[in-house]
Amino acid sequence: MPPGTRRRGVLFDVDGTLIDSSYIHTISWWGAFRQHGYDVPMARIHRCVGMGGDRLVDSLLPPGRDRDVDQEVLSSHSALYASHWPGLRAFAGAKDLLVQCHASGLAVALASSARERDLQAMREILGADAAIDAATSANDAKESKPAPDILVAALEAVNVEAADAVYVGDAVWDMQAAAALGIPAIGVTCGGISAAELRDAGAAEVYEGPRELLANLTSSAIGRLLDVTEAGHR
């Protein structure tokens, strides 16, 4: 990179954005709640997937509960989700999207708030480590999404300023986290949240998933980053 050129990058959520896991998380949370005596409808759970686990539990369980049980619920969810690892799949185009962004000169970071071992399992499924410059996990943020902490950690990991980044996610909470930092957000509906809801939450544009975003990369917010990067090299 020429001296004085600002590095630009793309941050990617992973669950529900690159990996088809949103509904696996939903059923895992549903099972975890039931194990501890809470009957929470799956529809309510799905709408909270994408929050950090601590916030999800706090949003869905009664405020007067014994909060000492929260950690047990989190542990139950972790165990149930891990049991589904063999069935997890990357969305069509996910690996190619990461590879193309990296090959175009952008820094690529996975801005995930998943547990470290879940993130590692998903990275193995993606098979795109050569195109990933950095990745965050739940250990890297004090506050979980919709707080922007995990995005801040990802930006720092690839030495990119918020003004020089784009974020791709599938949840309302992703859009809100990006908005808190002034980062343009691209929404994908493959996690089960509608385009209208993602736009209302701040998405600049919305695609069905990684494959459609890749097909429209040059005209997307990521493409505009590429235009600026190429201009800086002239």
Going by pLDDT thresholds of 50, 70 and 90, the confidence category of residue 228 is low
Least confident residue range of 1-10, 70-79, 86-95, 109-118 = 1-10
> What is the per-residue pLDDT across 31-68, written as a single tens digit (0 to 9) for each?
999 999 999 999 999 999 999 899 999 999 999 999 99
- Arithmetic mean of pLDDT over the chain: 94
Angle at 230 between CA 229 and CA 231, to 5 degrees: 90
Going by pLDDT thresholds of 50, 70 and 90, the confidence category of residue 226 is confident
Instruction: List the domains of the chain with CATH numbers.
Output: 9-21+88-233 (3.40.50.1000), 22-87 (1.10.150)
What pLDDT is attached to residue 157?
A: 96
* Euclidean distance between CA atoms 215 and 209, whole angstroms: 10
What pLDDT is attached to residue 234?
A: 42
* Residue 190, CA atoms < 13 Å, CB-side half-sphere: 26
What value does the mean pLDDT take over residues 77-88? 96
